[in-house]
Structure 1
Amino acid sequence: MNLSELTTLRVGGPAARLLQPATRDELVATALELWSGFDEWFVLGGGSNVVVADEGIDGDVLRVVTRGIERTDSGIRVQAGEPWDGVVEYAVANGLAGIEALSGIPGTAGAAPIQNIGAYGQELGETLVAIDFLDFATGDVLRLPTAELGLGYRTSELKRGRLGVVLSLELALTASGDGLSRPIAYEQLAKDLGVQPGEHVPLAQLRAAVIALRASKGMIWDAADPDSISAGSFFTNPIVSENFARGLPSDAPRWPTEPERPPRVLPLGAPIPVAPASGEYLVKLSAAWLIEHSGISRGFALPGSGAAISSKHTLAIVNRGHATARDIVQLAGYVQTRVMSEFGVLLQPEPVLVGVHL
């Protein structure tokens, strides 16, 4: 079987073997058996955040398909092969708040902490308590609390190279007796819902609004929608120094990442202290803005290529029906070059690249 059949981009050649253990115990046993040899191996979840080479993988692919969601005292425990959107659907249906804005994100639950998925003002790290992790180095099943995962913007210690297999997730969710979401933290979402940022709406209403927003950008996988045959956002929003950001055009979106200092209350008549000098902070930029203003528009494609920029969302590279992995990375590299030439920013790919390079 070509891995193109198991990835949302629909590119990728065969693997030496495709292994799909059905239970957690079988998953552990299969992984340990793989690791006892010297063959190459790769762990695959939902295939939504990966670009696999046209030649495939010269090794074994361990596909995580274990299923199951159970209630805990503080939230839920989820097996790694559970589709992520099914996890959100379960939470919303059971009046559990905390991940409702993460609706519609493709892929499996096990991949969520690797990427520290986030959208519309929520990130997984806000609710993740711990993961069960089969560690490649020791062969042990470890319970890793969130603090040990090094979660950051679309990254983690797992993405940065700690090898193993995520077996399950434990999430702390809020039992919402009134069925309301957590405070809405994303302005566009609040606007679509007709409320102000910081307000609450019914969980099901927020989930429906998020799914509609994602669908409007081609970010809900649908075989009938060519703009959804993608790996989602192909580039992360770059984070640069404040000084560098000041050199960009004034209309370039930017979001300082330094947390605000808490207000200080001084006794009446006390002298006002001199504010301590702060170091230069970092600024997050909009990758979509950089792409669009480097001259690459929605629907753009290189001559003769089967890959294109989505007609709905400039951050997505789509397969127009006959793209190869080579087409995908050539277009991504072209985007990188244009943005670097125009703004001096090197965009970083969000998907995992297997056997291909930018």
Structure 2
Amino acid sequence: MPEIPPIPLAQLTTLRTGGVPERMFDAHTVEQLVPALRNAWSEGEPVLVLGGGSNLFVGDQPFEGTVIRVLTTGIETLPSPRDGFVRLRVQAGHDWDALVAFAVEEGLAGVEAMSGIPGTVGAAPVQNIGAYGQEIVQTLVEVELIDEQTGDVSAVPAAELGLGFRTSVLKHHYGFVPERPAVILTVTLELERVGSGERPVGGEQLRTALGLEPAASVSIAWVREHVLSTRRRKGMVLDDDDPDTYSAGSFFQNAIVSASFARTLPSECPRWPLSPVVDSALVIPLAAYQGYVPPTAAHESDVKVSAAWLIEHSGLRKGFKLPRSRAALSTKHALALTNRGGASAEEIAQLARFIQGRVQAEFGLILQPEPVLVGVEL
């Protein structure tokens, strides 16, 4: 695999920050990627595996380690054990939106609401990407990955990845290391064959975003087109001519809070109940049964609340920036921190910390960053 002259990470990340790494390699095939990772890990120096650079916030200092760019591409169609479904095995470096476009063109449903999300397929399970109520956990079958500690390659079922709201056991959480350090090589999804005809749209969040009535039927191509249009209006589709897209997408996660805490927020704050916690089956030995079955414990489900609403209603409107800063909230979407041109990582970090402080002071919760932070602190 060729070593290439190091490229400043500011040129390879959508937030446009980051210094020059010591070494850089490009991997165009799995056969190049696996030995490159094993060699880099064995040397004991920091290793940054780079896909589309869309979910990274990198500091200004030179990266003292090796950057390996995952440039593998390709989609393989496989049979599914379920009638009416098909599986797609996709290389980790494949562009995510290109995969969505392929699926929609083939009449395969399950990822169309995630149109326009920047980045690569291999990064998608790491933070369980999602949009408008659709998440990759709903269609993910398994991933093929290489373990950082052993160098072994294995197929891992989706159920073993700890997929939650924008998280997995593979993700570098802010302030935490991943539970399972590994790099994804391929991703296998299972999608439903629905063709090009109209069908009901499931999910209130998606219907609301697209302005659809509960009984409305549209094609998956229609959903993709309108999701892309909605994201463009918010500056969430990459465009070199639009500084509002010089971002890492949604910089803060929508907050997950208890139902009781959600009731302390203003009633107009958008919120979506998560799936309720269901107790496991209660087994009573026949010898111990006395004709009484205790009632199932009731659990209120947690609630997802809109981080964008919290930001705007803490007094920080779209386009807000600190004095003399080149970092600002997007003029289209209050959840995106943008580089208006030449902003340093520290300028963006200062804005992020200011936003966190305002939301905490106003509503009593601390927004958590969504991008992976490399060489920078909030």
Q: Output the TM-score relative to the length of structure 1.
A: 0.92
Partner of 1:167: 185
Q: Which residue of the other structure, out of 167, 170, 174, is the alignment partner of 1:155?
A: 167
TM-aligned CA deviation for residue 186 of structure 1: 4.1
Change (3 A) 1:151 1:192: closer
Q: Give 5+ residue unaligned stretches, structure 2.
A: 1-6, 80-85, 173-177, 279-292
**Residue equivalent to 1:270:** none
Q: Which residue of 2 aligns with 1:65?
A: 71
The answer to whether the 8 A contact 2:196-2:220 is kept is no
Structure 1, unaligned runs of 5 or more: 262-272
Is the 2:359–2:367 Cα contact (8 Å) retained in structure 1?
yes
Aligned-partner SS, 1:157: coil
Aligned to 1:331, what secondary structure does the other structure show? helix
- Distance, in Å, in 1 between the alignment partners of 2:102 and 2:15 is 27
Please list the CA deviations of residues 281-317 of structure 1 after superposition, one character each: whole Å capped at 9, or x if unmatched: 3221111111111111100000011100001000000
**Pairs aligned (count):** 346
Matched, 1:202 2:208: no
8 Å Cα contact 1:307-1:331 kept in structure 2: yes
Which residue of 281, 284, 307 corresponds with 2:327?
307
Percentage of identical aligned residues: 53
Equivalent in 83, 102, 106 of residue 114 of structure 2: 102
The answer to whether the Cα contact below 8 Å between 1:134 and 1:167 also exists between their aligned partners in 2 is yes
Partners of 1:119 and 1:93 in 2: CA distance = 20
Counterparts of 1:136 and 1:285, CA distance in 2: 35
Instruction: Please give the secondary structure, in 2, of the residue aligned with 1:353.
Output: strand
CA offset digits 1:189-210 (Å, max 9, x no partner) = 5357564236442121111101
- Which residue does 2:228 correspond to in 1? 211
1:123 and 2:141 aligned: no
What is the CA distance between 1:82 and its match in structure 2? Answer: 0.3
Shift of 1:260: 9.0
Note the C-alpha offset of 1:100: 0.8
**Aligned counterpart for 2:246 among listed residues 224, 229, 238:** 229
- How big is the shift at 1:239? 1.1
Output the amino acid matched with 2:190: A
Q: When the two structures are superposed, what TM-score results if normalisation uses the length of structure 2?
A: 0.87
What whole-Å deviation, never above 9, does each CA across 1:231-273 have from its counterpart, x for those lacking one?
Answer: 0000001111222222222222222224398xxxxxxxxxxx9
Residue 276 (structure 1) shift = 4.4
1:265 match:
none
Distance 1:289 1:37, change over 3 A: same
| Separation in structure 2 between the aligned mates of residue 198 and residue 184 of structure 1, nearest angstrom | 10
Structure-to-structure mapping, 1:49-60, within 5 angstroms:
49-60=55-66
The letter of the residue matching 1:37 is E
The answer to whether the 8 A contact 1:130-1:143 is kept is yes
Q: Is the 8 A contact 2:277 2:301 kept in 1?
A: no
Counterpart-to-counterpart distance in 1, 2:347 and 2:370: 17
